Amino acid sequence: MKYKAEMDYLMKVLRKLHFQAMCVTPEDMQSKCLDFGLRKFLGMDVRYGDMFNHPEKWMNDNIIYKMTDEFKCRYVFFKLPGENVAFMAGPYITEEKTREDLLEEAEHYNVPARKFRQLEACYANIPYVPDETVLFVMLNAFGEILWGAGNAFTVTEIEYETNSAAMPPERDDETRDPEEIMLHMKSMEDRYAYENELMEAVSQGLAHRAELMLRSFTKGMMEQRVKDPVRNVKNYCIICNTLMRKAAEKGGVHPLHLDSASSMLARRIEGVASINDGWDLMKDSAQVYCRLVKKYSAKQYAPFVRKTVAYIESDLSGDLSLHALAALQNINASYLSTLFHKETGKTITEFVNEKRMELASRLLRTTQLQIQTVAQHCGMSDVNYFSKIFKKFHGVTPKQYREENRHYVTK
């Protein structure tokens, strides 16, 4: 296929945004279940191919087609030059459906109450895109690659006739159809796969990837487990906090650092007053844990070294001598010294002084504390010794450093 590399790249980007993207033939578009099983669930799959009947109407060159169906789900597709194959992305929604919207839709299509959660599961798989700008910037750029210039193609909206068909009457027995069970299982599998991918991003400290995933996460993906919607979102915040804490631990962050962050986020969760508050908090949680991974990950170190690093970073004002650190773990000081240098490339004294000088520079930039007080916070009671070490690291005295960086000081 011509433009295969470009097509593969576009599809990879869209899938990272949790779009369904694929190359299909006209026959595929009439037979494949492209709407995550929504019409099949509503008993409308017999006429699913109607959406893409008469391919001669849309399989034309140099046109990007947009279509919105009766469920306000949007699709984008276009014919690849010289091929009887179309690229397709979708479905996605630009107006997020509330639970109330879905209840009304369920009533319209005669969906019984006991199957409502399955309808929610169908919609939970459909990405919510409040702003299509990025999508169409990508597609327009791709169109220029395919057809040579921005004026060499057009974007056309396809009119789709709505279908008022309703779900078949409920059977007398309440036995669930095997296909319904499979749909429910698929929804659960997708949710768990999403959680695993999010945890993997956090464990690697990839804040941009975690944020991208959370942006594509829709409120519909949150199962309504309790009646109170605020309590429901709080519960998801608690789950999110737990998953991300475990992910950061997997990423090599010591529990000493994790406990502080987890406790802080737990307090914020109890203060959540709305669904949007919870939504924002889940995004903040990802940022918090990714920063911890970036800053404190010691995954590559042996257990004794990891604990030593965690203890040093937890209290720079304490006794951080080699013998004190070895005694904390009941190991030989010489062994710890050799192991620490082998794994970090630094002596314990060099590592401790480096961390203390990082703290000192931050305090000098952001506070008005006296230099002697800064030295004490860095575990150095002798201010002259503190100044000597500081100048060795930063090339200037603490006083000069503060004067050069006084515009950073917060009043």
pLDDT of 182 > 60? The answer is: no
How far are the Cα atoms of 53, 82, 261, 265, 283 from residue 64, in angstroms, in the given order? 17, 15, 47, 45, 34
- Give the pLDDT score at 193: 74
Query: 224: closest CA among 84, 113, 69?
Result: 113
Give the residue, 210 or 393, on which the prediction is more confident.
393
Residue 322 banded pLDDT, cuts 50, 70, 90? very high
Tell me which H or E stretch contains 154.
strand 154-158
Looking at domain 303-408, which of 3.30.450.20, 3.30.1280.10, 2.130.10.10, 1.10.10.60 is its CATH number?
1.10.10.60
- Give the pLDDT score at 259: 85
- Give the pLDDT score at 407: 56
- Give the pLDDT score at 410: 46
Write down the residue that tokens 């829709």 correspond to: 218
Mean pLDDT of 329-335: 93
Task: Dump pLDDT digits (tens) for 119-177.
Answer: 777 777 788 787 888 888 888 888 888 888 778 888 888 766 555 555 454 444 445 55
How far are the Cα atoms of 68, 80, 359, 392 from residue 396, in angstroms, in the given order? 64, 63, 16, 8
Domain positions in the chain: 4-158, 178-296, 303-408
Q: Which amino acid is at 212?
A: L
CA distance 61 to 147: 9
Q: For the chain, what is the mean pLDDT?
A: 80
Lowest mean pLDDT, pick from 113-127, 157-171, 243-257, 345-359: 157-171
Token digits of residue 140: 């327009």
Give the residue, 355 or 301, on which the prediction is more confident.
355
Contact residues for 339 (Cβ-Cβ < 8 A; gap 6+): 302, 304, 305
* Residue 95, Cβ density class (10 Å: 0-12 exposed, 13-18 middle, ≥19 buried): exposed
- Give the pLDDT score at 387: 94
Q: What percent of the chain has pLDDT over 90?
A: 16
pLDDT of 265 > 60? The answer is: yes
- Give the pLDDT score at 171: 44
Residue 89 banded pLDDT, cuts 50, 70, 90? confident
Q: Going by DSSP bridges, is the β-strand pair 86-92/154-158 parallel, antiparallel, or unpaired? A: unpaired
Lowest mean pLDDT, pick from 18-32, 241-255, 316-330: 18-32
Task: Dump pLDDT digits (tens) for 274-284.
Answer: 888 888 888 89
- Give the pLDDT score at 332: 94
Token digits of residue 110: 């005669």
